[in-house]
Structure 1
Amino acid sequence: MTAPDRTEGDTSVGALDDALDYLADCGPEWGPGVSNHGPMAAEALVALGRPEAVGRFVNDYRPMLYRDAPVPSVTIDEATWRPALGNMRLLGDWNAFFRARLAEAPWREVLAAWWPRLLPGLPAGGGHGVIRTGHAVRALASAETPGRVEELARGLGYWAARFQQVPGTQRFAGERELRQAWDSVPRLLADQGIGEIFRIRLEALDLLPEFGRVVDATARPEDPQRALSMITNLAAHAYLTDEHRKYMGFVHALTAPAAVRLVLPHLPAELHWDSVAAAWQFTAAIRAAYGTGYREPESLVSSIDYATLTDRAIATGDPHAIKYVEACRREDALAGDPIYAIVATDWIRRMEDGSWVT
């Protein structure tokens, strides 16, 4: 089985829908706790204006994925959903549950009903539940097709099945400015548990009772969109200047809040601040889990234009490279800060020479 070979004359709608159909028999992870990035990266390629690259990417990526998407075995309903959260054995059931909800009501209604229920578990799958949901929402907002509705069901289902909480209440309930609170985030200094599975490292934050107090003691910024820019900016700077051995973690510290931004326009206004607070908690959690202090950047990094970065990201074949370039370009367009192009350039270089593994 090979992916459809689309040419530049084909529409981005068709390229993405073909990719989603091609990946439909694959599970949400390609290893225990390591997420399947195929649908997210395919959507990001379309957002980057490169739909012609989608077919080759998914064709190369699919062989590493588990086949046979999970099937339901029990029934989850409005009376039984809460104890089913965080149970990966019920992934097929969660997918079926959201598939049924999306058949009953418009996708924005389902999203608005379930977003606040899933928000406390935003760290699910290292943030990939919300990231996959964010990409699906942007795709649906562009064109509502059966494949994109199904992708939203899978994003929400994965989020629910991998539901994970970290200390804190996801509320801006204090007086410290965001940047001051960021400087006070406590760290797990031991290297034990550092690996590709975010869930294991984030679980250890229960050993830092002060973490929850720090994130909760943050004052609410003036504007949700501007607050998200501050969060992604902090994540970008920490990628360069935190003493850490986990560049991958700090990539997701940016892409998760950037995914929350994709969803905000489709949520009721009363959910915006809770969403931003959850994004703040997650990005701070990555710093607490993987950052161990300040360092000078290894070398002065000169940024590259985003068109070239996109070409180089596609050439790596790595979905993180594609997603990170797209998120950085989007955040840069809003904030006009060169830090986004700098970190995207550094990540691409590390993907090319293998130095992202330290």
Structure 2
Amino acid sequence: MTTTTTSTTSAQTLDRLLDRELDRSPHARGGFISHLAMGLTAAARLGADPDELDALFVDWTSGDFLIGRDRPPELVPLSDEVARHGATAIVREWLPHLIGHPGAQFFHAVIRLDLALDADHPGQIANALLNWGADATPPAPGPDGDGDLDVAEVMARVAAGDRDALHDLRADDDLLDQVAAWVASVHDDPHDFGTLHFVTGTRAVRAVAPYLDDDDRRELGLRTVQALIGFTDRFGPSTPPPADELDRRRATSVPDWGELGRLAIASGDPHVVKLTYACRLEEAATGDPLLRWVAARQNRAA
């Protein structure tokens, strides 16, 4: 569970709302994804008070976008297992069977699991595992990782039109760190939902990676790069700016995390809320000030 400053009353409100969320499908109408549980958890971690959480729940459940459901019969017993044996044991059991497709549902499956673990909510953890498990089949054979190119070099070749560059990827021990640095460098347009999900998805992948052994972490990293390349068909290739521009972004004065959290909550947009929280966690993990610029840019504050 991620250490946060969420108040006791906000945590209680979040737990209540996450219980209610389980009466809705992880999917939404039109082939979209429900962000309800994920957005509520991120908002709580960014400092949303109980009234704000309740208001977001009402707003995000209005209309007919989300789909009501009867809870699947396997949800309760799996939730009980999580509560009885602990999330770590159950996730370690399930995760090796899921990592072949970290890009499932455009990374939302792994994001759902990451934020369910963050909330430490057995029902949401079980729901996330079942949701990802229903869509865990790899889209294609994965790379072997025995090439000689790092992530940035592979993605540059992909941007230049070389779709076979994946097979030249080198699976270094810091492969997921390389992915995280690359995705942070390419998300500079608040309207680009492709690169936005690259950031939030990579954050989630990095959060679940410690539950795996070394071989499975390597596989997860390789499959994550494969997923990023696969999504270029939908969103187009992404290219980072020159190094001096990245240095300028790191040196730019932007609001602190408290203010960025308030801006994200006020936006009422679960994508903005999740992106801001993911960037805050990634900056804490890496120390890279680029992450705060990315969050500020998303909140129109940079």
Q: How would you bin the TM-score normalised by the shorter chain? A: 0.7 to 0.9
Q: 1:230 Cα shift?
A: 2.3
| Normalised TM-score (structure 2) | 0.81
For 1:103 and 1:330, the matched residues in 2 are separated by 26
Identical aligned residues as a percent: 24
Letter in 1 for 2:188: L
Distance 1:17-1:295 versus aligned 2 partners, 3 A rule:
closer
In the alignment, is the contact (CA less than 8 A) between 1:178 and 1:221 conserved in 2? no
Distance 1:264-1:304 versus aligned 2 partners, 3 A rule:
same
In the alignment, is the contact (CA less than 8 A) between 2:200 and 2:275 conserved in 1? yes
In the alignment, what sits opposite 2:58?
Answer: 59
In the alignment, what sits opposite 1:68?
Answer: 68
Q: Secondary structure at the match of 1:29?
A: strand
For 1:159 and 1:56, the matched residues in 2 are separated by 28
In the alignment, what sits opposite 2:145?
Answer: 172
Q: 1:153 Cα shift?
A: 1.4
List per-residue Cα deviations over 1:258-294 (Å, max 9, x = no partner): 0122223333444322222222222333345323465
The CA RMSD over aligned residues, in Å, is 3.2
Q: Secondary structure at the match of 1:119?
A: coil
Aligned counterparts, 1:1-358, within 5 A: 10-52=8-50, 53-64=52-63, 65-71=65-71, 92=72, 95=75, 98-99=78-79, 102=82, 105-140=85-120, 148-163=121-136, 165-169=138-142, 171-186=144-159, 211=163, 213-223=164-174, 227-240=175-188, 247-292=192-237, 294=239, 302=252, 303-349=254-300
Gaps of at least 5 residues in structure 2 are 1-5, 243-247
For 2:182 and 2:271, the matched residues in 1 are separated by 19
For 1:164 and 1:349, the matched residues in 2 are separated by 38
In the alignment, is the contact (CA less than 8 A) between 1:107 and 1:149 conserved in 2? yes
Gaps of at least 5 residues in structure 1 are 1-7, 72-91, 141-147, 189-209, 351-358
For 2:286 and 2:7, the matched residues in 1 are separated by 33
In the alignment, is the contact (CA less than 8 A) between 1:255 and 1:327 conserved in 2? yes
Q: 1:108 Cα shift?
A: 2.4
For 1:228 and 1:13, the matched residues in 2 are separated by 31
Q: 1:114 Cα shift?
A: 1.8
Distance 1:169-1:137 versus aligned 2 partners, 3 A rule:
same
In the alignment, what sits opposite 1:145?
Answer: none
Letter in 1 for 2:176: L
In the alignment, is the contact (CA less than 8 A) between 2:283 and 2:291 conserved in 1? yes
